[in-house]
Amino acid sequence: MSLKNKLHILKRKYRSKKMAPAFNALHTFLYLPNETTHNGTHIKAADDLKRTMNTVIMAMVPCLLFGMFNAGYQHHLALGEIQSVTGGLFSAEFWTLDNFMVGFWKIIPLVIVSYGVGLLIEFIFAIINKHEVEEGYLVTGMLVPLIVPIDIPLWMLAVAVVFGVVIGKEVFGGTGMNILNPALTIRAFLFFAYPTWMSGDKVWVHGAVERDQAIAGGQNLDAISGETILGALAQSKEVAYSTVDMFLGFIPGSVGETSTLLIILGGLFLVFSKIGSWRIMLSSVIGAIVMGLIFNQVVASGWIPESSNFYGLMSAPFWEHLIIGGFAFGTVFMATDPVTASQTNKGKWIYGFLVGFISIMIRVFNPAYPEGVMLAILLMNVFAPTIDHYVVQGNVKKRMKRVKVKTA
Amino acid sequence: MSNDIRIKKGLDIKLVGEAEKTVEQAVISNYCTIRPEDFHGVIPKLVAKEGTTVKAGGVLFFDKSEEAIKFLSPVSGKIVEVVRGPKRRIDAIKIQADKAQAFEDFGVFNVDAAKPEAVKAHLLAAGCWPFVKQRPYDVIANPASSPKAIFISGYASAPLAADLDFTLKGKEAELQAAVSALGKLTEGKVHVSVGKNANSPLAGLNGITLHKVSGPHPSGNVGTLINKVDPVNKGEVVWTVNAQDLVIIGELLLTGKFNAERIVALVGSSVEKPRYFKTIAGSEIATLIYDKGVSKGGNDRIISGNVLTGKQIRPDGSLDFYSNVVSVIPEGDDYELFGWNKPVFNKVSTSRALTFSWLNPKKKYDLNTNTNGEHRAFVTTGTYEEVFPLDIFPMQILKACMYQDLDEMEALGMYEVAPEDFALTEFVCVSKQPHQKIIREGLDLMIKEIG
C-alpha cells in the first residue's frame, strides 16, 4: 500500500480527534489534499495560501544565503584575518566556504528556533481553537532570523517569538486577523526589551560582543568595531564603506538585510509572480526619496548647523537612504504583508508612501536608534485600516451621490 | 445605435470540451422533475397533488407569499411523486410524461395592442413570470414592483457556456415578441448586450437599447451590464431575463403554448462528443449524458449550469429550470504529492507563483473539482480586484456579509450584486472562501431584515 493511501486512512481515523489539525498540517505539506468543491464554483485556481507563502520564502532565500557568507566575512574581517573585498560582487575574499560555515552555524540555529517556537504556538492554538493550522507563520518564521543581529541569544529570540505570535497575532484570531506585522512585533519586542542586544556598534558582527566582554575582563585584545553605516552617520562620522559595498551588501547589519541587490531581485520576483504589491514597494521608495530630498534641501539651505545631532544623517544624499539600513528589506518583505498593509489599491499607494516617508524621518530624528523602518511600518500598520476606510468611503459616497442626482 | 462596453478586469477560463455546433433532439425523458429550490426564496404551495394529471402548462404550485406567481408543468402527464424533506418541505415534484403531449392553451396574445397590466397578468397566468428576475436580491421579480429598466445579456462569456448566437438562431420572432412585451412593463429601457464580434439575433430587435460588450468573463454577466449601464440604487429595482428564456416567453405570446423546450449544451472534458441538445426543462439528465457522452460509473461531476455557478446533480438527477448548459468534469478527490509547491502547468492561475498558465493564454485546460488547497481566512489582497469589473470593493463587501452589518452591506453596494458576480473572485480566491454562498446569505439576510 502506498504512502498516499496509508496517510489517507490515518487522516480518516483521526478526523474527529483533538490532534487532527496537527496531523492535517503535516499531511497537507506532503500532499495537496483531496478536498473537492461543493457548490459555488466547481473549479478553483491553482493558488492556495501555502503556494503564496512559499513564493515569498523563495524570494528570501538569496538574502538568507548571502547573510551566511556575510556573517563569516564580517567576523573574519573584524578580526583582521582577511582583507576587505575589492573585486565587486564576485570577490574571492567573500565567497569562501569558511565564511559560509561561520554564518551557517550561527544562522541555522536562529532559523530553527524561529520556526520551532513559532510553529509550536501555531499548532497549540490550532488544536485549542479546533481549526486548521494556517500558513501565516511560514513567512514570519523566515523573516525573523533575517532581521535580528547575528549574536542574539537564542533564548531571547524564543521569548520574542512567543510574544510576537501570541500578542501580535493569535489574540486577534490568528492569520489574516492581525493588526501588526508579526515579524516586526517580534523585532520590536527584542528592540525594547533587550536594547543592548539590538543596537549599538557591537552587535552586528559575530564575536564582537564576546570580545568586548573579554576586554572588560582584563584581556589585552583589540576591540572589534562593527558599526553600521546608519550608526556612523548618526554620529556624523566618516563612513568606512563604498557605495558599491552598501549596494551589494558587504556591510554589517542584521542577518539578511544588507544586500540591496538581492532584495531588489527578491522584490522583482514577488512583483512578477504577483504575490507582492508593486504599488506598496514603489510608493514606499518614492516616499523615502521625497523625505530624503527634503532633508537634503534643509542642509543645502543652511538651516541646520553642522554641529547638530541630525546633521550627519540629514546630509547623507537622499539615494543613500535607500541602500543602507533595513529600508530595502522592510519595503520589499515587511511593508507588503497583505494582512497588515492597506487592502485597497488606492490605499496601498498612500500607505506605501507614508511608510517610506516616515522611515527616513524617524531615521534622521531618532539618532539613538537610527533605524526607522521597523517603527514606520508598525505605525502604518496601525493606520492602514483608517486609510482603507477613507478609500472605501469614497466608493460609498459615489453611490450615495448617484441616488441624490436621481432624486434631485 | 449601439454602445460599446469594454471590460478589462476579468478572466477567461478556457476549458476542454466546448460543444460542437450541432443540435440533436434529446431522447424524450420519461420523467420531468421540478425542484422548488431552483426558485430561490419561493415557498411553494402545492396545487397538483400526487396522482393527479396535468397538461403541459398546468399549474404545479404557486408562491405562498405572492400567489399570482405560478409554476407550470413543462410536460403533460401524471404527478407520480412529491418528494418531501424535513418539515414537509417540498423538495421535488416528479411528473411521468405522457407519450403524446397535450398543452394548455393560453391563447395567442396581441402584444402591440395590450396594456401593461394585461401583459403582466398574461405572463403570470401562463407561468412565464419565474423567468423574470429582479435585482436587488437576485430573486424572481415582484410583479408589484416597477422596474427602472430591464436587462438582458445576449453574450455568454462563462467557461464552456452555450453560444447564444447559435442557440437563438432563427428565433427572431419569439425574441421580438418577448422583448416587446417586457418593454411594456418598464418605464425605462430594455438594455440588451451582445458580443462585439457576434452575429446575434438579438441585435436586430426593435425597442431595445443595444450594447456591444467585449473583454474577458464576466463581460457577459448581466450584473456587469447593469453596473456599467445603470447601476441599481437604493429603492430602485431592475429586472433581468435570460436570453434563452425569452424564446419560451415569445412562443407563449405567439402560439399560446407554454413550451419549456430549450437548446442545452452538453460540455466538459469528461464528455466524449460535446454538442447541443433540444430538450425540456426538468428532463432527466441521463437522457443527455450517456450517448457519446460520459462513461457510466466514471468519477465525474455533473453540473446543471456552468462550472462557475451551476448546481451539482447526481447521475439520476434532472436538468434544473433555468440552465442551458450541462457541464461534466472529472472529480478531483485525489491527493497530489507536493502539490502546493511544485511548478504547475496544467491548472489555471492568475498569479505567476510557479504557476505557468500565463505562458500560454490560449491553452485549454482540463480542470477537475479539486479545491487546490484548504479553506483559510482572507489573507491576500488585490487578487479579487483583478477579475472583478464592478465598481464595488469585493473583499470589503464579502466581509460585511460575513459579519452581517446591514448598513455597511447597503453602503458598499449589495443592491447591485448577485452571487454569480462573485464567481470569478471565488475561483481565484487563495483562501478558498465560498464567495457566492456568502453573498447569497447576505442577500437573504437583507430580504429578511429590510425586505
Q: Give the residue from A8, A11, A31, A37 with the most B CB atoms within 10 Å of its CB, the best one to mutate.
A: A37
pLDDT of residue A225: 67
Residues A118, A113: Cα–Cα separation, whole Å: 8
In B, residues 134-163, which contact A (CB 8 Å cutoff)? 159
Burial bucket for residue A34 (CB in 10 Å: 0-12, 13-18, 19+): middle
> What nine digits make up the cell of A346?
488606492
Q: In which band, very low, low, confident or very high, does the pLDDT at A280 lie, cut at 50, 70 and 90?
A: very high
Q: What is the pLDDT of residue A283?
A: 95
- Looking at chain A, the whole-number percentage of residues with pLDDT higher than 70 is 96
Mean pLDDT of chain A: 87
A12 and chain B in contact, CB less than 8 A: no
Res A367: pLDDT: 63
Is it the case that residue B207 has pLDDT exceeding 70? yes
A42 touches chain B (CB under 8 A): yes
Question: Between vectors from CA B4 to CA B1 and to CA B9, what angle results, nearest 5°?
Answer: 165
Tell whether the model's pLDDT for residue B1 goes beyond 60.
no
- What pLDDT is attached to residue A368? 67
pLDDT tens figures, A180-197: 999 999 999 998 898 888
Using the Cβ of A2 and the Cβ atoms of chain B, whether some distance falls under 8 Å is answered with no
How close B275 comes to chain A (CA, Å)?
Answer: 21
Percent of chain B with pLDDT over 70: 100
Task: Assign 3-state DSSP to chain A and report helix, strand, coil percentages, each to 5.
Answer: 65, 0, 35
State the pLDDT at residue A352. 95
The total of other beta-carbon atoms located within 10 Å of residue A190's CB is 24
Question: To the nearest whole number, what is the mean pLDDT of chain B?
Answer: 90
Task: Please return the burial class of B203, using the count of CB atoms within 10 Å of its CB with bins 0-12, 13-18 and 19+.
Answer: middle
- At B273, list the grid cell: 462528443
Q: Which of B329, B380, B388, B422 to mutate to test the interface with A (most CBs of A within 10 A)?
A: B380
Nearest CA in chain A to B234: A403
Distance between CA atoms of A295 and A138, rounded to whole angstroms? 38
Q: Which of A212-216, B114-118, B269-273 has the lowest mean pLDDT?
A: A212-216
Tell me: the pLDDT tens digits for A97-127?
A: 888 998 999 999 999 999 999 999 998 998 8
Cβ distance of B432 and A272 shorter than 8 Å: no
Confidence band, pLDDT 50/70/90 cuts, at residue A1: low
**Kind and range of the H or E run holding B139:** strand B139-140
User: What pTM did the predictor assign?
Assistant: 0.91
Q: Cell 492535517 belongs to which residue?
A: A24
pLDDT at A406 over 80: no
Q: Taking CA atoms, what residue in A is nearest to B332? A: A36
* Cα gap B81→B86, rounded to integer Å: 16
pLDDT, residue B2, reads 65
Contact status of B33 with chain A (Cβ, < 8 Å): no
- Nearest-neighbour CA in chain A from B131: distance (Å): 21
DSSP codes, A28-79:
HHHEE---B--SS-SS--S--HHHHHHHHHHHHHHHHHHHHHHHHHHHHHHT
Q: Return the DSSP state at B414.
A: G
According to the model, what pLDDT value does residue A223 have? 66
Instruction: Provide, as residue numbers in chain B, all residues whose Cβ is less than 8 Å from the Cβ of A135.
Output: 376
Inter-chain CB proximity A44 and B327 less than 8 Å? no
Say if residue A96's pLDDT is above 90: no
Helix axes A136-146, A182-193, angle to 10 degrees: 40
| Residue type at A244 in one-letter notation | V
ipTM (interface predicted TM): 0.88
As a whole number, mean pLDDT of residues B287-294 equals 83
pLDDT by residue (tens digit) across B194-203? 988 878 888 8
> Are A151 and A209 within 8 A, CB to CB?
yes
Backbone angles phi, psi at B344, to 5 degrees: -120, 125
On the question of pLDDT at A217 being above 80, the answer is no
Question: pLDDT for B381-402, tens place per residue?
Answer: 888 999 999 999 999 999 999 9
- State pLDDT tens for residues B225-239: 999 998 998 889 999
Domains of chain B by range and CATH? 31-97 (2.40.50), 107-255 (3.40.50), 371-449 (no CATH)
Closest residue on chain A to B352 (Cα):
A273
A402's CB contacts (< 8 A; 6+ apart) are B231, B233
Q: How far apart are CA B315 and CA B300, in angstroms?
A: 9
Q: Which chain A residues contact residue B385 at CB under 8 A?
A: 345
pLDDT at A237 over 90: no
Q: pLDDT tens digit string along B18-54?
A: 999 989 888 888 999 999 999 998 999 999 888 899 9
